[in-house]
């Protein structure tokens, strides 16, 4: 084999090794950044599998069979998701515009008092807030929605204000120097740059609402809390374990979905 051919083969081998090492480096980097998005679904699957095996190996009486019937559990699960989803949408609709207003120069004096009131509302026990709302308004779905919205308002409101305040002032001045109006600068520069921070607050609010929605059953709004109530009232430990497992799996699933959405938004914004 000639010297030129040998050098060509060596060069190709080196390039192949570098390409493999580069791919391994990229895979390692992606794993280190997003390993939680792989581990969390595995935990959820293992948790649900454990619940399925647990129920399958138990001799359930007629009451437990009726309470844990797939139709009953699915209906309560849908109510739980609906409570969390509607209240989170209301939080988004209220908190983001309010945060934008409070971040404007003319309204910054009101920023501290409003955030203080929001912090006080979040510090209140969610169960107490729901009960007070129920006695003040009425028992039912929409009262629970109002209580859940109040309980989860602060994370999105605060993150909206903080996200907009963290936008580099030089970028805003550059946009204004290009002839953009204040409105155009807000929607084309400030909000897009603040979106990752806002989404992080929305993720917190969503997960918070999923867990707190369990308490909505105590004011007649339904949800998976009904399973917990029935388990305690009927003294059925099997029902209580299944209810707790389903609630935990749902919270983890919502957190995983919100995490995926947050990564996508951050990647596009970056």
pLDDT tens for each residue of 234-255: 888 888 888 888 888 888 888 8
Residues 210 and 113 reside in one and the same domain: yes
Q: DSSP assignment of 171-238, as one string?
A: HHHHHHHTT--HHHHIIIIIHHHHHHHHHHHHHHHHHHHHHHGGGGGGGT--STHHHHHHHHHHT-HH
Query: Tell me, what DSSP letter sits at residue 2?
Result: -
Would you tell me how many other CB atoms lie within 10 Å of the CB of residue 84?
A: 28
pLDDT, greater one: 123 or 217: 217
Residues 206 and 183 reside in one and the same domain: yes
Residues 83 and 205 reside in one and the same domain: yes
Residues 148 and 208 reside in one and the same domain: yes
pLDDT cut 90: percent of the chain above it: 2
Domain that holds residue 151: 40-269
Number of domains observed in the structure of the chain: 2
Question: Are 84 and 148 in contact, with CB atoms under 8 Å apart?
Answer: yes
pTM: 0.77
pLDDT, greater one: 87 or 183: 87
Query: Tell me, what DSSP letter sits at residue 140?
Result: S
Residue 48, judged by CB atoms within 10 A of its CB (0-12, 13-18, 19+), counts as middle
For residues 173 and 180, what is the distance between their CA atoms, to the nearest angstrom?
10
Residues 48 and 22 reside in one and the same domain: no
Which residue in 112, 70, 99 sits closest to 157, CA to CA? Answer: 99
Residues 8 and 122 reside in one and the same domain: no
Which pLDDT does position 17 carry in this prediction?
46
Listed in sequence order, the residues at least 6 apart from 100 whose beta carbon sits closer than 8 Å to its beta carbon are 160, 164, 186, 191
SS (H, E, C) 48-111: HHHHHHHHHCCCCCHHHHHHCCHHHHHHHHHHHHHHHHHHHHHHHHHHHHHHHHHHCHHHHHHH
Q: Read off the pLDDT band of 268 (50, 70, 90).
A: low
Residues 61 and 118 reside in one and the same domain: yes
Residues 210 and 228 reside in one and the same domain: yes
């Amino acid at each position: 084999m000639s010297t030129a051919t040998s050098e060509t083969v060596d060069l190709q081998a080196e390039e192949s090794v570098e390409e493999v090492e580069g791919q391994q480096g990229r895979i390692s980097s992606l794993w280190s950044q997003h390993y939680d998005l792989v581990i969390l679904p595995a935990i959820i699957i293992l948790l649900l599998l454990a619940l399925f095996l647990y129920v399958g190996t138990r001799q359930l009486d007629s009451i437990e069979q009726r309470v844990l019937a797939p139709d009953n559990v699915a209906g309560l699960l849908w109510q739980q998701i609906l409570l969390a989803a509607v209240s989170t949408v209301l939080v988004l609709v209220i908190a983001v515009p309010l945060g934008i207003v409070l971040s404007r120069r003319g309204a910054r004096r009101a920023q501290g008092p409003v955030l203080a009131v929001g912090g006080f509302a979040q510090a209140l026990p969610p169960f107490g807030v729901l009960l007070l709302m129920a006695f003040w308004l009425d028992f039912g779905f929409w009262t629970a929605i109002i209580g859940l919205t109040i309980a989860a308002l602060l994370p999105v409101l605060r993150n909206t204000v903080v996200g907009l305040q963290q936008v580099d002032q030089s970028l805003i001045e550059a946009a204004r120097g290009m002839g953009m109006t204040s409105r155009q600068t807000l929607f084309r520069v400030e909000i897009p740059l603040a979106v990752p921070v806002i989404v992080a607050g929305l993720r917190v609010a969503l997960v918070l609402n999923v867990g707190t929605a369990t308490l909505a059953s105590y004011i007649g709004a339904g949800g998976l809390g009904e399973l917990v109530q029935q388990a305690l009232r009927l003294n059925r430990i099997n029902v209580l374990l299944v209810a707790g497992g389903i609630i935990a799996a749902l919270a983890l699933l919502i957190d995983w979905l919100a995490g995926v959405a947050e990564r996508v938004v951050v990647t596009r914004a970056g």
